[in-house]
Chains A and B, each alone.
Chain A
Amino acid sequence: MNKPLRHVWLVVSVLFVLLFTSTTYFQVIAQERLNENPHNSRAIYNEYGRPRGPIVVDGSAIARSQESDDNYGYLRTYDPEPMYAPVTGYYSVVYGFTGIERSLNDTLSGEADELFYERVSAVLSGREATGAEVELTLDAEAQEAAWDALDGRRGSVVALDPETGAVLAMVSSPSFDPNQLASHDQAAVAESWTALNEDPDRPLTNRAIGGDLYPPGSAFKLVVAAAALETGDYTAETEIPGPGTYELPNSSSVMTNHAAGGTEPCGPDDTSTLADALRQSCNTSFAMLGIDIGEEQLHATAEEFGFESSMEIPLSVTPSTMGQDLDDAQLAQTSIGQYETRVTPLQMAMVASATANDGVVMEPQLVQEVRTSDLSTIAELTPQEAGQPLTASNAAQMRQMMVGVVEDGTGTAAAIDGVEVGGKTGTAEWGEDRAPHAWYVGYAQQDDRKIAVAVVVEEGGYGSRTAAPIARDVMEAVI
C-alpha cells in the first residue's frame, strides 16, 4: 500500500503548498492594497494606537498625542485651540483628518519612507515607534498678533518671509476647536461636526488658502502696476490718464474713479503719474492701463506671481485666477480686481513678497523642520524660487510706489515708525447690497528683517480703515 500512501502524501503537499502560497499572497503581496482598503478599520486603530509626532511652533507643541485610557490608546490634543486650527487641521476618529495632520500624516504617524530606519531601530531597541515631530515656520507672535487683530471677524491674515517663502502667520477666522473633533466621544464629535458644518460663518474653511476665493479689489492694482513696469513702457513716473469716470469700451457701464461712486479725477488734466495713481488707488487709471498693456502681459505677470497654479505648502492651495479671454470692458474690471479675479490671501501675500525680495517669489512653505523623536533632523526648509514676475529694479520701483501709498495714500494706517512699510489697500465689491471686503497687501522691512502681509476682512468696508491696522499689528510683531 505504499504507492497510494505516497500519492496521499503528494496530495497533502500540494494542499499545503496552496496554503503557503495563499498566506504569502495576503500577508505580503496584497498587504498594501488591503491595508489601504477604505473599509479597513484596523488602519484607523493602528493610527490611533500609536503616538503621533507633535506639531511645533516656536518650540512649543500646538498639537500632541497624549495617552488615553480608552480603545484608541492616544488622544490628539491641541493648544491653543482655535488659533492654529486652520493650519494643523483636526485628527478625528470619525471624520478623518485635515490640514497638516493630513498633508504630513505619514511623517507624523511615522509611516513615511524617510522614517524607515527610525522604525527599524525602534523595533530593534524595543522602543515604541513614534511619529516624527513637525516644526512649522509660523511665528507665534505674528500669529497671535494677527489672531487678536482680526478679533473674531470673518477674514484671514497671511504673513510670509519674502526671502525664504516661510509662512510666518496664517490665520483664518472664525476658527474652531480641533479638540472637539479629535475627542474619542463619538456622539459629542458628531454634534460638534454638525454644528461646525451648519455654522453660516463656515469655521472649518481655511480662508487663507482655499475654499473661499475673494475678489482682490484694488489690491490687484499691484499686479497691474508690476505688469506695466515689466512691459518696459512704463516707470513709476510715467504720466497716465485718470479721468473721474470712464465709460467701459463697448459697454454702457461707467466706472467711477473711486469706491462708492467718487468721481474726482486722479490728477490735474485727468492725468497722474503711475505712482500717484497707485497711491490714490484710481480706478480709471488702472482700468485704462490694464487695457493698454493687454491681457497677455497681465496674465504672464500674474502667473509669475503664482496665479493659476496649485501649490502644496504642503496644505493644498486653491489656485487664484483672473479670468480668460477677456474683452476690453472685462479687462478694465479685472484690472481693478473685480470681474472674475479671485484670489487667496496667500497669493496676495506672495505678490507683496516679490516686491520685497527683488522681484523673486519664493515657494510658500509651512514646514520648517522634521525631526525624529531623538531630535535628529530628517528634513528642513529649503527656500525655492517659484517665479520672478519683476526685475530687481522694477521691484525697487514697486516698493517706492507702495511706500508712497502708506506714507501719503490709502494705506497710512499701516505705517510703523522707523520702518519701511509699503502696501496697497483694497475694497472689493462682491455682491449687491453687501459691504465690500477690506484688503491690505504689503510688506515691511527693517535692516535684514522683512515681512510680506496680506489681510482680508470679509465685509470689512474700506481696506484703509479695517485691514491696514491689522497688517500693522502683524508686521510690528515680526519687525
Chain B
Amino acid sequence: MATIVSYTARPRRLLQALMLAFAVVIGVTAYGLVGLGRFGEVPEPLPGLAIGAVVVAIALQVAVMWRAPYADPVILPVVVLLNLLGIAMIESVHEANEVFGLRTSASADRQMLWTVLGVILCVGVIVTLRDHRRLRRYTWIFAVCGAVLLLMPLTPGIGSARNGSKIWIEIAGFSFQPAELAKIAFALFFAGYLVSRRDTLALAGPKVLGIHLPRWSDFGPILVAWAFAMAVLVLETDLGTSLMFFGLFVAMLYVATDRLSWLVIGAVMFLPPAVFVATQMTHVQTRITCWLDPLSSENFSACEQINQGLFGLANGGIAGTGLGEGRPDVVPHAESDYIFASFAEEMGMVGAFALLMLYLLLVQRAIRAAVGISDGFGTLLAAGLGFTLALQVFVVVGGVTRVIPLTGLTLPFLAAGGSSLVCNWIIVGILVRLSDAARRPAARQVPSGAPAPGPRTTQEVAS
C-alpha cells in the first residue's frame, strides 16, 4: 500500500484542554441564555450545570492524558459542545412548553444525568480498552449481541410500540432503544468479519458479467446480516434504523473490498424491501406523502410535524430568533426527533450551519483516524462508525428539511433520549481509542526501508 502518513506525534493535550474549556463555556452560556431569553433571568440550575460540565471535561481530559495521550484533540471538545448545546435546546423546548402550555416535555435534567452516565462509559472505554484490536476477538459474540438487541423490541412483554414503530423496550420503568447498542455491536462484527475475509471476498469467487462475485461461504454471513436488518425494517417498521444499518454494512463492505460494483448490487438489494415497505405500510406511506407534498391543505394535518418544523426553520431565518426566544414548542417532539428544527429556529441558518459543521468535523476526525490507523480492523471500525454518524445526521436533518422522507432517528448527542446519548458516548470512547492508535508514534506506518522517525513534520501525504 503506497501510503505515507506522517503525523505530528505531539499529543496536543493542551490544545484539547483549551478547546474543552471553550466548549464548556459556550455550552453553559447557551443554557444561561435560554433562561434569560425565556424568563429574563439566569436559570437556577446554571451553577450546577457549569460545575458538572467542568467535572466532565476534566474527567475526559484526565482519562485521555492517562490512557490515550495521542488521541485526536478535536473529538471530545466537539462532542462535549454538541451535548451541552443539546441540553440547552432541550431546556429551551421544555421552558417554552411551560410558558405556552401547548405540550409537555421533560426538562434537561434527565439529559444531564444521561450525559454523566455516557461520559462514565466513555471514560470506561478509554481506560479499560487499551488496544482496540482486542475487540476483534469477539467478532461473533458481537454478531449474536447485535441480533439479540435488535430483536428485543419484538419480544412480547418488554417491547413497546411508539409512533408506529416497535423500537423500544421497557424494563422496570426504564425504556431503551436497543438499536443504538446494536449499531455498535454490528459495526464491531462487520469490522472483525470483513477484515479477516476481505481478500477472499474480493478475489476468490466466480466472475459473472465482469463482476467479481464472492464465494457463498464468504458472503453468506453478510447476506444473513443484511436479511436481518431488512427483517427488522419490516417487522419493526423502523425505516431510519434499517437505513443506518444498511449504510453501515455497505460502507464497510466497500472500504474492505474496494469494489464499487458491489455497492450497486447492495443498492439493488435494498430496493425490494424498501418498495415493499413504502407501498404496503400506511405508516411509511404517510411519511412519503409528507415528504413530497406536506403543505397542501389535504395533507396538512397528517404532516403537522414536518410542516411545523418547516415553519420553525422559516421563523428562524438567517440569524434565528435567539435562544429561548423562539417557539420550538409548536413542533411535536421538538426536543428529540425535531431538535434540529428547534435549534435552527432559535439559532437560525448560521447556527444550523455551525451545528452541521461540528458533525462534519467529527466525521472527518473519524475518517482521519481510519486513514491513519495501521490495522485493517481499526480502519474499518473507524470508517464504519464515522460513516454511520454522518448517515445518521443526514437521515435526521434530511428528514426535517425534506431531502428524504422523515424517519424516526435521533440526532447524535443533541436529541433528548438516554439510549442514543449513552451509546454515542460509547462510540466516542472507541473513536478516541482509535484516533490514539492512529496518532501514536509507534503505530505510524513507515514505508519499509525508511529510516527511523526523524524530526516530525506536520505535513501529510496520502496517495
Give the B-binding residues of A (Cβ under 8 A): 1-5, 7-9, 11-12, 15-16, 18-20, 22-28, 30-35, 37, 39-42, 45-46, 71
Query: How many Å lie between the Cα of A71 and that of B254 in the bound state?
Result: 54
In the complex formed, the residue of B with least CB distance to A123 is B319
Contacts of A20 in B (CB 8 A): 353, 356
Contacts of B360 in A (CB 8 A): 12, 16
Contacts of B344 in A (CB 8 A): 23, 27
Interface residues of B in 294-346 (CB under 8 A from A): 295, 297, 300, 307, 310-318, 327, 330, 344
Whether B258 pairs with A9 at a CB distance below 8 angstroms is: no
Query: How many Å lie between the Cα of A49 and that of B39 in the bound state?
Result: 13
Of the candidates B348, B353, B387, the one whose C-beta lies within 8 Å of that of A12 is B387
- A9-B364, A39-B300, A45-B330 given as contacts; is B394 within 8 A of A16 (CB)? yes
B79 to chain A, nearest CB (A): 17
B371: Cβ under 8 A from any A Cβ: yes
In the complex formed, the residue of B with least CB distance to A30 is B314
Query: How many Å lie between the Cα of A32 and that of B380 in the bound state?
Result: 45
Q: Which of B61-69, B116-124, B396-404, B449-457 contacts A (4 or more CB under 8 A)?
A: B396-404
- A16-B356, A27-B317, A71-B99 given as contacts; is B311 within 8 A of A40 (CB)? yes
B462: Cβ under 8 A from any A Cβ: yes
Contacts of A15 in B (CB 8 A): 390-391, 394, 398
Contacts of B463 in A (CB 8 A): 2
Whether A1 pairs with B255 at a CB distance below 8 angstroms is: yes
Ranked 3 nearest A-B pairs via Cβ: A34-B314, A22-B401, A27-B349
Whether A18 pairs with B313 at a CB distance below 8 angstroms is: no
B363: Cβ under 8 A from any A Cβ: yes
Whether B403 pairs with A18 at a CB distance below 8 angstroms is: yes
Query: How many Å lie between the Cα of A18 and that of B403 in the bound state?
Result: 7
Of the candidates B295, B313, B330, the one whose C-beta lies within 8 Å of that of A41 is B330
Contacts of B330 in A (CB 8 A): 41-42, 45
Whether B315 pairs with A42 at a CB distance below 8 angstroms is: yes
B100: Cβ under 8 A from any A Cβ: yes
Contacts of A25 in B (CB 8 A): 401
Query: How many Å lie between the Cα of A20 and that of B101 in the bound state?
Result: 32
Contacts of A18 in B (CB 8 A): 394, 398, 403
Contacts of A35 in B (CB 8 A): 311, 314-315
Query: How many Å lie between the Cα of A28 and that of B364 in the bound state?
Result: 27
Query: How many Å lie between the Cα of A5 and that of B391 in the bound state?
Result: 15
In the complex formed, the residue of A with least CB distance to B2 is A2
Whether A27 pairs with B379 at a CB distance below 8 angstroms is: no
B423: Cβ under 8 A from any A Cβ: no
Whether B403 pairs with A12 at a CB distance below 8 angstroms is: no
B78: Cβ under 8 A from any A Cβ: no
Contacts of A71 in B (CB 8 A): 99-101
Interface residues of B in 216-268 (CB under 8 A from A): 251, 254-256, 258
- A12-B360, A16-B360 given as contacts; is B327 within 8 A of A5 (CB)? no
In the complex formed, the residue of B with least CB distance to A35 is B314
Contacts of B313 in A (CB 8 A): 23, 26-27, 31, 34
Contact digits for B347-384, partner A, Cβ 8 Å, 1 yes 0 no: 01100110010011001100100110000100110010
Task: Offer 10 A-B interface pairs, CB within 8 angstroms, sorted by A.
Answer: A1-B255, A1-B258, A2-B3, A4-B255, A5-B371, A9-B364, A23-B313, A23-B344, A23-B353, A35-B311
Query: How many Å lie between the Cα of A7 and that of B254 in the bound state?
Result: 9
Task: Given A23-B356, A26-B313, A26-B401, output 13 extra A-B contacts at Cβ < 8 Å.
Answer: A1-B380, A8-B255, A11-B251, A16-B360, A19-B356, A23-B353, A23-B401, A27-B316, A27-B318, A35-B315, A40-B314, A42-B312, A71-B100
Query: How many Å lie between the Cα of A27 and that of B254 in the bound state?
Result: 36
Contacts of B401 in A (CB 8 A): 19, 22-23, 25-26
Dominant secondary structure at the A interface: helix
* Residue from A18, A24, A31, A33 having most chain B Cβ neighbours under 10 A: A31
Whether A2 pairs with B315 at a CB distance below 8 angstroms is: no
Query: How many Å lie between the Cα of A5 and that of B1 in the bound state?
Result: 14
B393: Cβ under 8 A from any A Cβ: yes
Contacts of B258 in A (CB 8 A): 1, 3-4
Query: How many Å lie between the Cα of A24 and that of B366 in the bound state?
Result: 26
B294 to chain A, nearest CB (A): 10
Whether B254 pairs with A19 at a CB distance below 8 angstroms is: no
Whether B387 pairs with A2 at a CB distance below 8 angstroms is: no
Whether A34 pairs with B310 at a CB distance below 8 angstroms is: yes
Contact digits for B96-138, partner A, Cβ 8 Å, 1 yes 0 no: 0001110000000000000000000000000000000000000
Contacts of B100 in A (CB 8 A): 45, 71
Contacts of B391 in A (CB 8 A): 15
* Residue from A5, A9, A31, A71 having most chain B Cβ neighbours under 10 A: A5
Whether A1 pairs with B311 at a CB distance below 8 angstroms is: no
In the complex formed, the residue of A with least CB distance to B258 is A4
Whether B317 pairs with A31 at a CB distance below 8 angstroms is: yes
Query: How many Å lie between the Cα of A28 and that of B254 in the bound state?
Result: 37
Query: How many Å lie between the Cα of A98 and that of B349 in the bound state?
Result: 34
B324 to chain A, nearest CB (A): 13
Query: How many Å lie between the Cα of A287 and that of B453 in the bound state?
Result: 115
Of the candidates B255, B311, B376, B403, the one whose C-beta lies within 8 Å of that of A34 is B311
- A12-B363, A22-B402, A27-B318 given as contacts; is B311 within 8 A of A2 (CB)? no
* Residue from A7, A22, A27 having most chain B Cβ neighbours under 10 A: A27
Query: How many Å lie between the Cα of A19 and that of B358 in the bound state?
Result: 13
A240 to chain B, nearest CB (A): 62
Whether B314 pairs with A26 at a CB distance below 8 angstroms is: yes
A20 to chain B, nearest CB (A): 6
Of the candidates B312, B315, B316, B403, the one whose C-beta lies within 8 Å of that of A19 is B403
- A4-B255, A19-B403, A27-B344 given as contacts; is B327 within 8 A of A45 (CB)? yes
Contacts of A45 in B (CB 8 A): 100, 327, 330
Query: How many Å lie between the Cα of A99 and that of B387 in the bound state?
Result: 58
* Residue from A11, A30, A46 having most chain B Cβ neighbours under 10 A: A11
Of the candidates B99, B251, B352, B356, the one whose C-beta lies within 8 Å of that of A8 is B251
Contacts of A31 in B (CB 8 A): 313-314, 317
B452 to chain A, nearest CB (A): 24
B305 to chain A, nearest CB (A): 13
Query: How many Å lie between the Cα of A16 and that of B367 in the bound state?
Result: 15
- A18-B398, A19-B397, A71-B101 given as contacts; is B295 within 8 A of A12 (CB)? no
Query: How many Å lie between the Cα of A25 and that of B258 in the bound state?
Result: 35
In the complex formed, the residue of B with least CB distance to A33 is B314
Query: How many Å lie between the Cα of A220 and that of B111 in the bound state?
Result: 76
In the complex formed, the residue of A with least CB distance to B198 is A1
Query: How many Å lie between the Cα of A4 and that of B101 in the bound state?
Result: 51
A13 to chain B, nearest CB (A): 8
A319 to chain B, nearest CB (A): 33
Whether B1 pairs with A37 at a CB distance below 8 angstroms is: no
Contacts of B352 in A (CB 8 A): 23, 27
Contact digits for B280-299, partner A, Cβ 8 Å, 1 yes 0 no: 00000000000000010100
Query: How many Å lie between the Cα of A19 and that of B356 in the bound state?
Result: 8
Query: How many Å lie between the Cα of A45 and that of B383 in the bound state?
Result: 45
Of the candidates A9, A26, A28, A46, the one whose C-beta lies within 8 Å of that of B367 is A9
Interface residues of B in 404-440 (CB under 8 A from A): none
A34 to chain B, nearest CB (A): 4
A291 to chain B, nearest CB (A): 55
Contacts of A2 in B (CB 8 A): 1, 3, 371, 462-463
Of the candidates B256, B295, B327, B367, the one whose C-beta lies within 8 Å of that of A37 is B295
Contacts of B398 in A (CB 8 A): 15, 18-19, 22
Query: How many Å lie between the Cα of A4 and that of B380 in the bound state?
Result: 11
Query: How many Å lie between the Cα of A12 and that of B365 in the bound state?
Result: 13
In the complex formed, the residue of A with least CB distance to B367 is A9
* Residue from B311, B353, B370, B462 having most chain A Cβ neighbours under 10 A: B311
Query: How many Å lie between the Cα of A41 and that of B370 in the bound state?
Result: 47
Whether A23 pairs with B315 at a CB distance below 8 angstroms is: no
Contacts of B251 in A (CB 8 A): 8, 11
